[in-house]
Copies of this chain bind each other. A is one copy, B any other.
Amino acid sequence: MSEREREEIFSVRGPVLIAGVLIDGEEVDIAIDDDGTIAAIGPGARSAISAEIVMDGRGHLAVPGLVNTHTHAAMTLLRGYADDMRLQEWLAEKIWPLEARLTGDDVYWGTKLACLEMIRSGTTAFNDMYFFMERAAQAVSEMGIRATLAYGFIDLADAEKREAEIRATEALVRHIGSMGNPRIRAAVGPHAVYTVSPEGLRWCAEYAREQGIGIHIHVAETEEEVRNCVREFGRRPPAHLDRCGCLTPRTVAAHCCWLDESECRLFADRGVHVSHNPASNMKLAVGRAMPYHWLRAHGVNVTLGTDGCASNNSLDMLEEMKFAALLQKFAWNSQTMLPAHEAIAIATEAGARALGIGPGRLAPGAPADIVLLDLAAVCNTPLHHADSNAVYACNGGAVKTVLCNGRVVMHDRFVPGEAEIREGAAQAAQALVRRSLEF
């Protein structure tokens, strides 16, 4: 492909036809409207639009864009900075000193790198919580994918700090509103029951309700969190959060390793979405896997997330699907738990539902967030079952082309500006470490 043809693909703003792609074993065309929605799928889709460009989909499998429901995207800058340490030492000696020196520019470059990594591994939407989120919004806007962005609200039971966090949260929500970018949404991000006071949690819940936006929070990640919550507030995290109004149909609760069965039922009653983060939970040795069987039995919407790059250290959702399917089998002692098609569902449909971005399926009327997987990849050879290959054999390397909102963001593994992003992020990471060592 010539550079000119490539430029053309990335600059298309009109209707797009993807021709001859495989979906559920059938070769079909996908017609995409100029507003970024799927107009038609099937042999006759070609006539549904007047395509500005026709992409050759032959030799590819089309799947919905993956949805990562729990990240701290800019922590890509900390990838591999410190691992294999005891949690408290790791946080106190390595992570916090670096985060204390973090700038808006760092968050911009870290989020650019994260978006690049997500695009290259088939993710088209993510649910993020971190700092300097206006700069994260800028990065996401430039990269062309979707994000729900929350400022990490941490008041440590300090009234003055709480006021500052309230102002920061309000400012981010106003800023994202003013951007008017349909791909980017705001959420409220109360960090966890051990970092946010009940007053802070109540304000977050009330403000999210007023604004009609999501709540993104860490819940029951470790046994210590549960124990301390009982000691301090007389109840376990879910009951405590419920009293503070934080359990809602707009809430995404990350981790949830230590929920008991009654808490799974409570989450179902409240319509809370859960983000399963298997690789992070294993790496940080949290001692228990999220109880998928109970959540599923009670009808909770379980989704999938990678967590940040300090505790994973990858944003590859194809890899994360394998970790989820394997961890659930191992931890709950069942060879049939979380089969391949469910692993794909939690990474697509369930994630899209949690973030309110369409059905997370390839269907007419759905947003054209589309990933083309390489059928010629070794991981797709042989092709007995495409779902199984995607979950158990492939990783992000099998992703060839990605569209978000009907626009091409990667084509044949080429992402515009990739080298500059890697360079900018690497320099930001180096400078951040240097600054942290100067003190």
Contact = CB atoms under 8 A, between A and B. Distances in A.
A382 interface: yes
A326 interface: yes
Interface string A79-120: 111011111001000000000000000000000010011001
A76 B332 CA distance: 27
B330 A282 contact: yes
A381 B422 contact: yes
Contact of A86 (B87, B335, B395): B335
A22 to B, nearest CB: 14
A42 to B, nearest CB: 26
Contact of A397 (B323, B383, B396): B396
Q: Is the interface of A mostly helix, strand, loop or mixed?
A: helix
Contact of A282 (B285, B286, B327, B389): B327
Interface in A293-332: 309, 312-314, 316, 319, 322-323, 325-327, 329-332
Contacts of A335: 84-87, 90, 283-285
A175 interface: no
Given A84-B335, A285-B334, A376-B419, 17 more contacts: A79-B393, A80-B385, A83-B385, A83-B392, A84-B325, A85-B336, A116-B378, A282-B326, A283-B326, A283-B329, A283-B330, A284-B329, A286-B330, A313-B393, A327-B330, A376-B422, A395-B396
Interface of A: 76-81, 83-87, 90, 113, 116-117, 120, 279, 281-287, 289, 309, 312-314, 316, 319, 322-323, 325-327, 329-337, 339-340, 376, 378-379, 381-385, 388-389, 392-393, 395-397, 419, 422, 425-426, 429-430, 433
